[in-house]
Amino acid sequence: MKKLLLTLASVAMAMAASATDYTLFDIANKGTWTEKGTGFEWTDGEFTITTDKGNYNNNLVSPVANDYSWRVYKGSNVTITSKTVDMKSVVITYDDYVYNGTDYVGPMSFGEGWTGAISGHTYTINNAAGSKTFTASPYEKQVRIKKLIVSTDDT
């Protein structure tokens, strides 16, 4: 029995080690964003994040303009593209800020193949087939992002 448990633990560790996570945005280290079109862009060579105002009526605020979270407005769009990485999951950590009883945790619509669920302040989005492109748009209200991680694993 011990040998079986050790073998299962080894297999689980090997499977976990094969996934790669990429922290693309963290409010503690926002990176450099440049104004582009009706939004902003960030890149590290492998990944590019673009924002555009979409159906939002006003100009967007740069992701580096706020000390607490990146404001993504209702109707605007966020797109992540990768040159070579097949993204299978995106984990968004929302800000826990509440103003006059309103929080900034809300659902988004996604591009083809992506589905997700919110639990607390974490939105976990998956694409079982993997994709080099991920697009999201808040449709109920502004959301405030503290961290955005993509992974080659679907969990």
Q: What was the pLDDT predicted at 61?
A: 93
**Six-digit token string for 33:** 């964003």
Q: Per this entry, what is the length of the chain? A: 155
- SS3 state of residue 2: helix
Please report the domains of the chain, with CATH numbers, ordered by start residue. 20-151 (2.60.120)
Of 134, 125, 41, 119, the closest CA to residue 85 belongs to 134
Evaluate whether 21 touches 148 at the Cβ level (below 8 Å).
no
Spatial separation of the C-alpha atoms in residues 108 and 93, rounded to whole Å: 13
Return per-residue pLDDT of the chain as tens, 155 residues: 444 333 334 444 444 457 899 999 999 999 999 999 999 999 999 999 999 999 999 999 999 999 999 999 999 999 999 999 999 999 999 999 999 999 999 999 999 999 999 999 999 999 999 999 999 999 999 999 999 999 999 86
Q: What was the pLDDT predicted at 29?
A: 93
pTM of the predicted model as reported, rounded to 2 decimal places: 0.86
